[in-house]
Amino acid sequence: MTADDVVAEIDDGMTVGIGGWASRRKPMALVKALLRSDRKDLTIVSYGGPDVGMLCASGKARKVVYGFVSMDTIPLEPHFRIARQTAAIDAVELDEGMFQWGLYAAALRLPFLPTRAGLRSDVMAINSQLRTVISPYDDGEELVAVPAIDLDVALVHLNRADARGNTQFLGPDLYFDDLFCMAAARRFVSCERVVATDEFAAAGSIHTLRIHRGLVDGVVEAPGGARFTSCVPDYDRDENLQAEYAATAGDPDAYGRFMERYLNE
């Protein structure tokens, strides 16, 4: 597929899960295509980075569900911060573990999963929709019932994929991209390079093959498709470009000039 083919699968108002972690291995080629489109009123679900900041600043995101929104070397994504502080978006702020558990519940097709994460914290105070349950066993423990985070579409970026949708990550972490795919009705993978299936063995161990063709509905070959975020070992984060992007926060004209160049590079 192409990135534009993927965006054609996304309708206004859909819930879109975006893999990666902060400013690491984000599917920016797919995010760029989404930004160039006329899609709107999206719910974005992410361990967020510049993907979330750009979708907020460009008016595509109506709601954001997140465990954090950071760019690693810039601790708080500045465009997201403005959207959050000005109430330009509906925000669902979850503990990182609760966020993972919500994706896992959706992957298992369960309405919720119980956890201790979030108890006696402000996560419960700022999320009035969260409920607790009592263990049906002898201890009667109170637990948080984390609701399933069901996704209409998942977008992830991996190092390698074959034409059938089997994928491989070569960096240090999968960043829960498998859970995003398992929690979604439709799943699309961009990758640095499409390879023959037998090349996977030469590149890494079997443990790097965590997202298989049964969890993928389309593959986009997109060399450099995570830039300016990192996609190790293929490339590191472009800190200069990231800093340039961050500096445009609060300056719509500067942001517009940056995005015009970035979206068309």
Per-residue pLDDT of the chain (265 residues), as tens digits, is: 999 999 999 999 999 999 999 999 999 999 999 999 999 999 999 999 999 999 999 999 999 999 999 999 999 999 999 999 999 999 999 999 999 999 999 999 999 999 999 999 999 999 999 999 999 998 899 999 999 999 999 999 999 999 999 999 999 999 999 999 999 999 999 999 999 999 998 877 878 999 999 999 999 999 999 999 999 999 999 999 999 999 999 999 999 999 999 999 8
- Sign of the alpha-carbon torsion through 82, 14, 97, 160: negative
pTM: 0.96
Residue partners of 128: CB distance under 8 A and separation at least 6: none
| Inside any domain, residue 120 | no
| Inside any domain, residue 119 | no
| Inside any domain, residue 92 | yes
CATH classification of the domain holding 238: 3.40.1080.10
User: What is the distance between the alpha carbons of residues 121 and 135, in angstroms, rounded to a whole number?
Assistant: 20
| Inside any domain, residue 162 | yes
In this structure, the number of other CB atoms found within 10 A of the CB of residue 264 comes to: 8
| Inside any domain, residue 80 | yes
The total domain count for the chain is 1
| Domain carrying residue 224 | 3-110+151-259
Look at residues 209, 227, 218 and name the one whose alpha carbon lies nearest to residue 5.
Answer: 218
| Inside any domain, residue 155 | yes
CA 185: distance to chain centroid? 15
| Inside any domain, residue 24 | yes
Which token pair is 197?
């299936």
